[in-house]
Amino acid sequence: MRHLRVNPATIALTVLASALLGVVAGFVWAALAPATRYVLVDGGPQPADPETQTLIAADGWFAVVTGAAGLLCAAVAYLLARRRPVEALTGLTAGGLLAAYVALLVGGTVKGVVRASAPGGLTTTTSLGVTAHGVLLAWPLLATALFWLIEFLVTYQRRADPAA
């Protein structure tokens, strides 16, 4: 039963650190992702270019930025909490989900100003968002995958070399 005891402080610290990194990731995403230009008409905002790829690019940049942050979190968590893998993985999963949501909120509020007015309506740049909601899982999935990969490689090395 000793191995089933968990340390909630490790989980909470991992979640908190991930959430704080989510703020940074949101600003980075907003800086890298292209903004979509919209025209405000009576029916609501419509893309200025119906064939724009900026919505897809914003999703891709979100996945890249949050995935990289997840990999960073996993490496740090392994270095600091490798003796408590259950707590570290729980914190990485919950923290990754929270941090991705925080990054979405922060990045979504950074952009969004009216650029110019035109006869067909106001041309505006909207706040960022994701259209493929699966990209919100990039952070926790990559974080837990890297943590387990490092754990496997270290454990495998110890078993292959019993003298170490």
Provide mean pLDDT across the span 142-163. 87
Q: Domain coordinates of the chain in residue numbers? A: 2-160
Contacts by 152-160 with C-beta closer than 8 Å and gap 24+?
A: 154/82
Provide mean pLDDT across the span 97-104. 97
Closest listed residue to residue 8, CA positions, set 90, 74, 82: 90
Instruction: Extract the runs of DSSP E, i.e. beta strands, from 18-147.
Output: 37-41, 44-47, 114-118, 121-125
pLDDT confidence of 124, banded at 50, 70, 90?
low
pLDDT confidence of 123, banded at 50, 70, 90?
low
What does pLDDT average to over the chain? Answer: 85
Q: Model confidence over 8-55: pLDDT tens digits?
A: 899 999 999 999 999 999 999 999 998 777 777 776 666 777 677 888
pLDDT confidence of 1, banded at 50, 70, 90?
very low
3-class SS shares of the chain: helix, strand, coil, % to 5: 65, 10, 20
pLDDT confidence of 131, banded at 50, 70, 90?
confident
Closest listed residue to residue 45, CA positions, set 122, 111, 129, 131: 122
Q: Model confidence over 44-61: pLDDT tens digits?
A: 666 777 677 888 899 999
